[in-house]
C-alpha cells in the first residue's frame, strides 16, 4: 500500500514498468490450475480462457500465462483479448497446443481464427512450444473460402514472438494485422511440401499498408518464396514501403523474392531492398509482376492505372535456378523502376558459348569471316539462357569487314570474349569504296555488355573524361593502364 506514496499539488507523474522488491514475485498463471487436462483429448479451451482472464486482470507483474512442458492441450478457437491492466504481459508456451482436427467440429465457430491475440500491448510470446494446427483435413478445402491462420496478432503493439514452432497449419501459420514495433525471431514453420495452404504458398507475404519491415536470416523452402503483394486488386490503392529482405536462403522454392500487383491498381510500392540472399534450385529467383492474376484467363489486359513501383534494389543475390536462366529475372512492369546490383544466379545448365568457328569462320587471316561473325552474334543475342558468350578463339586471325552487333538482346547480360586477333578487311583503304569508313566494329543498343579477352591496354582513358573511379583491377599481360592516346591511329 505504501510502495507509491506520492503527494502532488501541481504536477504529473508517470509510472511505467516499476518493479520494487517487497511486492513479491510476478504472478504466474498455470493453465493446469484453471482446469486444463493437457492429455490431448479433453477440450481445454475454457481453462485457457480463465487463465488468460486472470493474467490480463493482474495488477502486479509482468504477469505470465504458463503452458507447461510435456503436455498436449486441445484448444478450440479462442481470442486472448486486451488491453490488460499491467502494461506488459508474458505468454510462456512450453507445451503443445493442438486444434480440432476435423472441420466439422468448427460448425457455428468463425473459421477465420484459431488462436488470436487482440489489443494486447507489449506482449511477449515465447517458450519453445509447438502450435499444431492439424490442418490435413483443411487442405482438401479452398483456403480462399475457408481462411484459418493458426495464430493471429491484431492491434498488438510492441510485440515480441520468439522460440516457437508451428506445425501443419490449416492455412497461414502466423498473421500480423495492424501491429507496430513487432519482433519475430527463431520461429520454425513446418508442413508437407504439397500442402496447398501452407508450404504451398509464400514463406512470408507482405500485404497492404505495411512499412518499415526488416526480414533477416530466413530459411525458406519449399513454397513460393517471399512476396510483396498481391496489391491493387479491384483498383484499390496500395501503400507499401521500407521493406528489406537480407541474409536469407531459399531452397527448392517456386519463386524467390517477388513483388506482385494487379492491373488497374493505384498507390505505390517503394524503398524495397532484397540483398545478400542465396538461391538453391529456385524456379524464378527474382520476380516483379504488375500483371498478377490468380487464375489463367481471369485478367484480360488493361491499359489503365497500375501500382507505382520505385526504388527497388536487388543486390548480392547468388545461387542457382532450377529453370533456364531466362526466367531468373521475370520482370513485367507497367510503371516502375528496379535496379539489379551484383546479381549472379546460375541456370539449370552451363551458359551457352557461341564459337565463331562453329558458324563458318576460317580464322586463317585470308578468308572473309564477316558473315560467320554476323551469324554467331545473331545466335548469341537470341539466346534465352546465359549469360551467353560470343567467342573468338585464341591462335586465330579473323578478317572482318565493318559490322554492327545490334541489340537489344533477349538475355539481359551478354559476353563477347576475344582471345584471337581481329584484323580489318580489306586492308587497303582504296578497297573501302562504298563502305562507311568511320565504323569498323560497332555494338549498338546492347545492355550489360562485357567485352574482354586480352589485347592492348587494360583500361585506356582518353580526352573529355572525368569522374571515373577505377578499383581492384588485375591487369596483364598487356600494356597496363594509360591516360591519353598515342599519336596516330590506335
Question: Over the stretch 53-96, which tens digit does the pLDDT of each residue have?
Answer: 999 999 998 999 999 999 999 999 999 999 999 999 999 999 99
Q: The domain that contains 333 carries what CATH number?
A: 2.160.20.10
Residue 458 lies in a domain: yes
User: Residues 35, 73: one domain?
Assistant: yes
User: Residues 268, 184: one domain?
Assistant: no
Query: CA triplet 166, 113, 227: central angle to 5 degrees?
Result: 60
Query: What distance in Å separates the CA atoms of residue 165 and residue 248, rounded to the nearest whole number?
Result: 19
Active site members? 201, 224
Residue 488 lies in a domain: no
Total domains in the chain come to: 3
pLDDT at position 249, please?
A: 93
Residue 159: Cβ-neighbour burial (10 angstroms; 0-12, 13-18, 19+)? buried
User: Residues 32, 179: one domain?
Assistant: yes
User: Residues 184, 68: one domain?
Assistant: yes
Q: Which residues of the chain have pLDDT under 50?
A: 1-21, 199, 325-326, 455-458, 460, 462-466, 478-490
User: Residues 182, 207: one domain?
Assistant: no
Residue 16 lies in a domain: no
Residue 1 lies in a domain: no
Phi-psi region of 303 (alpha: psi -120 to 50; beta: other; left: phi over 0): beta
User: Residues 223, 180: one domain?
Assistant: no
Q: Could you tell me the residue range of the domain that residue 445 belongs to?
A: 353-471
User: Residues 56, 172: one domain?
Assistant: yes
User: Residues 305, 287: one domain?
Assistant: yes
pLDDT at position 456, please?
A: 45
pLDDT at position 219, please?
A: 92
User: Residues 215, 249: one domain?
Assistant: yes
User: Residues 423, 322: one domain?
Assistant: no
Q: 37 near 44, Cβ under 8 Å?
A: yes
User: Residues 298, 381: one domain?
Assistant: no
Domain boundary among 333, 350, 367: 350
User: Residues 232, 131: one domain?
Assistant: no
Domain boundary among 309, 331, 350: 350
Amino acid at each position: 500500500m505504501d510502495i507509491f506514496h506520492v503527494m502532488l499539488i501541481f504536477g504529473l507523474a508517470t509510472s511505467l514498468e516499476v518493479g520494487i522488491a517487497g511486492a513479491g514475485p510476478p504472478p504466474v498463471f498455470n493453465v493446469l490450475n484453471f482446469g486444463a487436462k493437457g492429455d490431448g483429448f479433453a477440450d481445454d479451451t475454457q481453462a485457457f480462457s480463465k487463465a488468460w482472464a486472470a493474467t490480463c486482470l493482474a495488477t502486479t507483474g509482468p504477469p505470465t500465462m504458463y503452458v507447461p512442458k510435456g503436455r498436449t492441450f486441445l484448444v478450440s478457437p479462442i481470442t486472448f483479448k486486451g488491453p490488460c491492466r499491467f502494461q506488459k504481459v508474458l505468454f510462456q508456451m512450453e507445451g503443445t497446443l493442438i486444434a480440432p482436427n476435423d472441420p466439422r467440429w468448427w460448425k457455428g465457430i468463425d473459421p477465420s481464427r484459431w488462436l488470436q491475440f487482440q489489443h494486447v500491448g507489449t506482449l511477449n510470446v515465447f517458450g519453445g512450444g509447438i502450435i499444431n494446427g492439424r490442418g490435413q483435413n483443411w487442405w482438401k478445402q479452398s483456403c480462399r473460402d475457408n481462411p484459418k491462420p493458426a495464430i493471429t496478432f491484431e492491434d498488438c503493439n510492441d510485440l515480441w514472438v520468439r522460440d516457437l514452432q508451428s506445425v501443419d497449419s490449416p492455412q497461414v501459420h502466423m498473421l500480423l494485422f495492424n501491429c507496430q514495433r513487432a519482433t519475430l525471431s527463431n520461429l520454425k514453420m513446418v508442413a508437407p511440401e504439397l500442402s496447398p495452404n501452407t508450404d504451398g504458398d509464400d514463406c512470408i507475404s507482405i500485404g497492404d499498408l505495411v512499412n518499415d519491415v526488416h526480414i533477416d536470416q530466413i530459411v525458406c523452402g519449399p513454397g513460393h518464396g517471399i512476396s510483396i503483394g498481391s496489391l491493387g486488386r479491384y483498383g484499390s490503392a496500395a501503400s507499401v514501403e521500407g521493406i528489406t529482405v537480407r541474409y536469407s536462403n531459399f531452397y527448392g522454392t517456386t519463386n524467390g523474392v517477388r513483388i506482385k500487383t494487379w492491373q488497374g491498381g493505384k498507390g505505390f510500392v517503394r524503398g524495397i531492398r532484397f540483398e545478400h540472399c542465396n538461391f538453391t534450385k529456385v524456379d524464378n529467383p527474382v520476380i516483379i509482376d504488375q500483371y498478377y492474376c490468380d487464375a489463367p484467363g481471369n485478367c484480360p489486359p488493361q491499359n489503365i492505372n497500375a501500382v507505382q513501383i520505385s526504388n527497388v534494389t536487388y543486390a548480392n543475390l547468388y545461387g542457382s535456378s532450377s529453370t533456364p536462366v531466362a526466367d531468373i529475372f521475370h520482370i513485367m512492369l507497367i510503371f516502375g523502376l528496379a535496379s539489379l546490383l551484383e546479381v549472379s544466379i546460375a541456370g539449370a545448365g552451363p551458359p551457352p558459348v557461341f564459337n565463331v568457328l562453329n558458324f563458318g569462320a576460317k580464322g586463317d587471316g585470308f578468308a572473309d569471316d564477316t558473315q560467320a561473325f554476323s551469324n554467331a552474334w545473331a545466335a548469341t543475342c537470341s539466346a534465352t539462357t546465359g549469360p551467353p558468350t560470343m567467342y573468338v578463339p585464341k591462335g586465330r586471325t579473323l578478317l572482318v569487314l565493318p559490322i554492327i552487333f545490334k541489340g537489344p538482346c533477349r538475355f539481359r547480360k551478354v559476353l563477347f570474349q576475344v582471345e584471337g586477333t581481329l584484323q580489318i578487311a580489306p586492308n587497303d583503304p582504296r578497297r573501302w569504296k562504298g563502305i562507311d569508313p568511320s565504323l569498323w566494329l560497332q555494338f549498338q543498343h546492347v545492355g550489360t555488355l562485357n567485352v574482354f579477352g586480352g589485347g592492348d591496354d587494360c583500361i585506356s582513358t582518353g580526352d573529355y573524361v572525368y569522374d571515373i573511379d577505377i578499383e581492384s583491377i588485375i591487369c596483364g599481360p598487356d600494356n597496363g593502364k594509360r591516360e591519353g592516346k598515342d599519336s596516330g591511329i590506335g
